[in-house]
Structure 1
Amino acid sequence: MASITSTGIGSGLDVESIVTKLMSIERQPVTDLQTRATTMQTKLSSYGKLQSNISTLRDAAAKLNNPSTWGANLTSSSDSTSATATTTDGSVAGTYAVSITKLASAQTITTAAFPANTTSIGQGSLTIELGAWSSDQSSFTPTSGKSAVTINIGAGDDSLSAARDKINASGAGVVASVVTDSQGSRLVLRSANTGASNGFRVSSTVTTQDSNGGPGLAALAFDPSNGVTTATQAQAAQSAVGKINGIDVVSESNTVANVIDGLTVNFNKITTADVSVTVGPDKDSIKKAVNDFATAYNALASFMKDQTKYVPKSGTTAASAGPLQGDSTAISLQGQLRNLIGSSTTLGGSLSRLSDIGLDPQADGSLKVNSTKLDAAVTNVDAMKKVLSGLDTSNDSNSGIIQRIRALADSALSFDGALNSKQTSLRSSINHNADDQDKMNQRLTLVEARMRASYQALDTTMAKMTTLQSYVSKQFG
């Protein structure tokens, strides 16, 4: 901000204009530093965007290098109403024949109907024990490690709903419910889990009969091995039984896991003929990953082309250059990527270049997806996987092309990689530039002060001389 001054009024000398023009010359080095700082800030911003684009490319390449992209992760069934399957890591591609002869079920027993207006079903206790029944229910084998659970039903607990709630809160391994229809209300007990080993038997001790003079809690007693069948069995406990590729399988539930590594088969319905379950790679997912890579690469290629371009002078149009034009780090990275895009590998046999799988390099440095080639390539997933993500331990330059692009991106983005090193260097230069500007501005403040002092003295001297000249002129006049 210019100071208010009266310098020059007495002498007629335009001191302020002289000082301003001289200081503009003195400040030219500061202006040059500011211009250089703006250029470096623009370049630093460009490197930040370049880093983001390369990071996106690396993520797209990582997807194609991920074994799960190429794994046997998609299943289909010739009869999904009977059998379906899901996969996990390590699933093996192939077609599996599935047949189902029994579905897993939970044991269910029910009491006779109590009148709907029953206020009490009696008092006493119920003892529930989990285990497995023999085929004719003549014997019962308790589950190892599981103890029988006794549930006391006292005053206030003897309604159907209260008894149901006490059974469910006991952790006895059964689920109680009340079913009401035109016949009345029944208490129903069902195993919490399916499978032959999750059957149960119930014994009762009655201290008070129900309010209608019925059997009370004895209505829930079920132990055929001892001739007790007051409660009626609606469904027996049963394990799922079937075959997978001719191998007999028995499962406590209808979800049969890891009979074959990484494959879980769901039994839905008993079959009369084999159901074919096919496991293989998700080809649509692979094609999407290839397209995503092309999109990420093209965004990077377009950005680098724009940032490193040089447009010569044409007519009245001045020459122009991108922020990274002539930048050795950016140009080197651009060249390495283009070389990799056009490179080849012997790992994929008949497929050796990106163009073989439908990624055709263009004259402007981009990639064009050829859907026809890509559809043909995914019919040979193993070769396609090798040309993109294969590893040659004896010769890195022969590894899969996407594998090498991922390695280049990792190197560029690493802590001591080209991009971080360049940005660190630019930040350091910007800080030094700011320090130089501060020092130069401090010096210019002193220069301007000395200049003003000198011109103020000159102004004073010239004012005196003007006064003397006027006096002499008057005397001679």
Structure 2
Amino acid sequence: MAISSTGLGSGLDVESIVSSLMAVERRPASLLQTAATTMKSQLSTYGQLQSHVSTFQDKARALNSLTLWSGTTATSSDANVASVTTGEGAPVGSYSLLVKDLANAQTASSPAFPSKDHLMGAGKLTIELGSWTGDPATFGLKAGTTSVTVDIGPGESSLAAVRDKINAAGAGVTATVIYDASGARLSIRSTQTGAENGFRISAEEQEPGAGGLGLAKLAFDPEDGTVSGLSLNQSATNARATLNGIDIESASNTLTDVADGMTIKLLKKSASPIDLQVAQDTESMKTKVTEFVNAYNELSKFIATQTKYNADSKTAGKLQGDRTVIGLQSQLREILRGTSTAPSALRSLSDAGLEVQKDGTIKLESKKLDAALATPAELRKLMSSSDLSNETSSGIVFRFAKLADSILGTEGPLESRTSGIQSSIDRNNKRVSDMETRLAQTEKRIRAQYQSLDANMAKLSGLSSYVSGQLAALSRNS
């Protein structure tokens, strides 16, 4: 480590002198660094502002959604009998539903086997989907389907292995081993409900099963008179109901095509009709209005905080005097206090319970909003009607969304301002870097000058001491 001895010979405090001079030289750089800190703070604040505007934009767009104002909700007078939901296009209405029968899947089970490891022997099972009709029953193959053959090899003939082979075949049925006091039974069930989804199974034994209990015990074909195979537990049936007195039959217990936009799920038979009501979803509308108000208030309060000056503490907000932000605040307030000439019984936000406060925020009057929601079509006109040729005929929230779009656009004022601040920071950093280079050179030059001065003063001090010594000697010898 280099040890500086500057000033030791002359008594001159060179380090303090250089430090004092450089402190003066560094003042412009310090001012630039302070400016950089201020600009970085502004840039961060603009980032927060963009976040608030983006949230506000999302909530305004939600109120401009056509699906929101056409949305419906449905209720059932007996949710144990049927549930009901609505989607896009569901009209408001009232329905009477009587559930006569539920749709069922065909289920059949085998005789009892000693265990799931019982060997069924090798052979084939052929599975067909279709409907059973008449008495005696006759089988009709389901349109668009073909039979599926399940091959059972000698090394894969346990009851559990046969179950797995059936399930892997994709034949429209599922197999399960169920245990009771008699042993293990194979239960086979259609994967879908409805009369057309019954099944027929034929068996071909190429190798007998253990104890004479082979694949033939898994056959099911009443038409062929097969009685030693699977036993029928549940027939495949359609759901039957009436909706507003009109007979309905369905292979599924979920009715999706009986009324526009409405889905009815049948749960059990009913002794008498139940009521299904479809009404406009005003709760969702109210939620979106509330979210919009909250987003607006958060944005308004943020701008107010960042642009105000506190006379007591003599401190200013980070964006105090910023023309871009003040201009945004002015535009927001202008739209907020505006009216819409769109044909509607509601002309201003105040008519819908959105009361403008002195500080520029909105207070939501719930009862007044509920009254406006009694006529959602009129409220939609006030909020989100669009007329690109006439601004005053557009909904007020539509104008807010349009303003937010322009503010957040790639060429919008926020993007331009943040880009400008960042450019200023970059230029400032370049000036600081250049200045630091010059300051290093200046310090080197000043230090060299004072080191030379120090050396010369040390020489003069030595010469002075020598002359004083000689004069003293001469005085003693005289």
Band of TM-score, shorter chain: 0.7 to 0.9
The match for 2:367 is 372
Instruction: State the Cα distance separating 1:303 from its structure 2 match.
Output: 1.4
Report the AA paired with residue 429 of structure 2: A
The match for 1:304 is 303
1:338 aligns with one of 333, 340, 363: 333
Is the Cα contact below 8 Å between 1:139 and 1:225 reproduced in 2?
yes
The match for 2:201 is 202
- RMSD of Structure 2 on Structure 1 (CA): 3.5
- 1:378-407 deviations in Å (ceiling 9; x for gaps): 222222223222222432343222222122
- 1:194-239 deviations in Å (ceiling 9; x for gaps): 111112223344567766668x554444434344444543322111
Is the Cα contact below 8 Å between 2:307 and 2:320 reproduced in 1?
yes
The match for 2:382 is 387
% same residue: 44
Is the Cα contact below 8 Å between 2:107 and 2:234 reproduced in 1?
yes
Report the AA paired with residue 394 of structure 2: S
Q: Where in structure 2 are the equivalents of 1:214-253 lying within 5 Å?
A: 217-230=215-228, 231-253=230-252
Matched, 1:437 2:432: yes
Instruction: State the Cα distance separating 1:81 from its structure 2 match.
Output: 1.4
Q: Structure 2 CA distance, aligned partners of 1:449 and 1:176?
A: 91
Matched, 1:6 2:1: no
Counting matched residue pairs gives 470
Instruction: State the Cα distance separating 1:291 from its structure 2 match.
Output: 2.2
Cα 1:205–1:412 change in 2 (3 A) is same
- 1:166-208 deviations in Å (ceiling 9; x for gaps): 4334433223344444456544332221111112223344567
Instruction: State the Cα distance separating 1:16 from its structure 2 match.
Output: 5.1
Q: Structure 2 CA distance, aligned partners of 1:421 and 1:72?
A: 39
Which secondary structure state, in structure 1, belongs to the residue aligned with residue 375 of structure 2? Answer: helix
Report the AA paired with residue 6 of structure 2: S
Report the AA paired with residue 432 of structure 1: R
The match for 2:261 is 262
Instruction: State the Cα distance separating 1:309 from its structure 2 match.
Output: 0.8
Larger deviation, residues 377-386 vs 177-186? 177-186
Cα 1:213–1:455 change in 2 (3 A) is closer
Matched, 1:75 2:74: yes
Which secondary structure state, in structure 2, belongs to the residue aligned with residue 388 of structure 1? Answer: helix
Is the Cα contact below 8 Å between 2:194 and 2:250 reproduced in 1?
yes
Instruction: State the Cα distance separating 1:125 from its structure 2 match.
Output: 4.3
Instruction: State the Cα distance separating 1:5 from its structure 2 match.
Output: 5.7
Report the AA paired with residue 330 of structure 1: V
The match for 1:352 is 347
Q: Structure 2 CA distance, aligned partners of 1:78 and 1:390?
A: 35
Matched, 1:140 2:139: yes
Report the AA paired with residue 365 of structure 2: N
Which secondary structure state, in structure 1, belongs to the residue aligned with residue 53 of structure 2? Answer: helix
Cα 1:447–1:253 change in 2 (3 A) is same
Q: Structure 2 CA distance, aligned partners of 1:9 and 1:217?
A: 115
Instruction: State the Cα distance separating 1:116 from its structure 2 match.
Output: 7.7
Is the Cα contact below 8 Å between 2:102 and 2:239 reproduced in 1?
yes
Is the Cα contact below 8 Å between 1:131 and 1:197 reproduced in 2?
yes
- 1:407-442 deviations in Å (ceiling 9; x for gaps): 222222222211111111111111111212222333
Report the AA paired with residue 79 of structure 2: S
Is the Cα contact below 8 Å between 2:9 and 2:455 reproduced in 1?
no
- 1:100-135 deviations in Å (ceiling 9; x for gaps): 222111122344556789956676544332212224
Q: Where in structure 2 are the equivalents of 1:286-297 lying within 5 Å?
A: 286-297=285-296
1:414 aligns with one of 393, 409, 412: 409
Instruction: State the Cα distance separating 1:142 from its structure 2 match.
Output: 1.1
Larger deviation, residues 419-428 vs 383-392? 383-392
Cα 1:8–1:331 change in 2 (3 A) is farther
Which secondary structure state, in structure 2, belongs to the residue aligned with residue 188 of structure 1? Answer: strand
Cα 1:262–1:461 change in 2 (3 A) is same
Q: Structure 1 CA distance, aligned partners of 2:460 and 2:115?
A: 129
Larger deviation, residues 447-456 vs 170-179? 447-456
Which secondary structure state, in structure 1, belongs to the residue aligned with residue 258 of structure 2? Answer: strand
Larger deviation, residues 386-395 vs 123-132? 123-132
Which secondary structure state, in structure 2, belongs to the residue aligned with residue 98 of structure 1? Answer: strand
Instruction: State the Cα distance separating 1:15 from its structure 2 match.
Output: 5.5
Which secondary structure state, in structure 1, belongs to the residue aligned with residue 341 of structure 2? Answer: coil
Matched, 1:399 2:394: yes
| Structure 1 spans left out of the alignment, 5+ residues | none
| Structure 2 spans left out of the alignment, 5+ residues | none
Q: Structure 1 CA distance, aligned partners of 2:276 and 2:429?
A: 69
Which secondary structure state, in structure 2, belongs to the residue aligned with residue 405 of structure 1? Answer: helix
Q: Where in structure 2 are the equivalents of 1:25-36 lying within 5 Å?
A: 25-36=24-35
Is the Cα contact below 8 Å between 1:72 and 1:92 reproduced in 2?
no
Which secondary structure state, in structure 1, belongs to the residue aligned with residue 423 of structure 2? Answer: helix
Larger deviation, residues 343-352 vs 110-119? 110-119
Is the Cα contact below 8 Å between 1:64 and 1:402 reproduced in 2?
yes
Instruction: State the Cα distance separating 1:324 from its structure 2 match.
Output: 0.8
Report the AA paired with residue 168 of structure 1: N
Q: Where in structure 2 are the equivalents of 1:30-109 lying within 5 Å?
A: 30-109=29-108
Q: Structure 2 CA distance, aligned partners of 1:74 and 1:327?
A: 47
Matched, 1:423 2:418: yes
Report the AA paired with residue 368 of structure 1: K
Instruction: State the Cα distance separating 1:246 from its structure 2 match.
Output: 4.4
Report the AA paired with residue 363 of structure 1: K
Q: Structure 2 CA distance, aligned partners of 1:385 and 1:154?
A: 68
Which secondary structure state, in structure 2, belongs to the residue aligned with residue 443 of structure 1? Answer: helix
Q: Structure 1 CA distance, aligned partners of 2:149 and 2:123?
A: 10
Instruction: State the Cα distance separating 1:137 from its structure 2 match.
Output: 4.8
- 1:10-39 deviations in Å (ceiling 9; x for gaps): 3x6666555544443333322322222222
Is the Cα contact below 8 Å between 1:348 and 1:384 reproduced in 2?
no
Instruction: State the Cα distance separating 1:332 from its structure 2 match.
Output: 0.5
Q: Structure 2 CA distance, aligned partners of 1:117 and 1:164?
A: 9
Is the Cα contact below 8 Å between 1:118 and 1:211 reproduced in 2?
no
Cα 1:4–1:190 change in 2 (3 A) is same
TM-score (norm 1): 0.85
Is the Cα contact below 8 Å between 1:8 and 1:15 reproduced in 2?
no
Which secondary structure state, in structure 2, belongs to the residue aligned with residue 106 of structure 1? Answer: coil
Cα 1:451–1:203 change in 2 (3 A) is closer
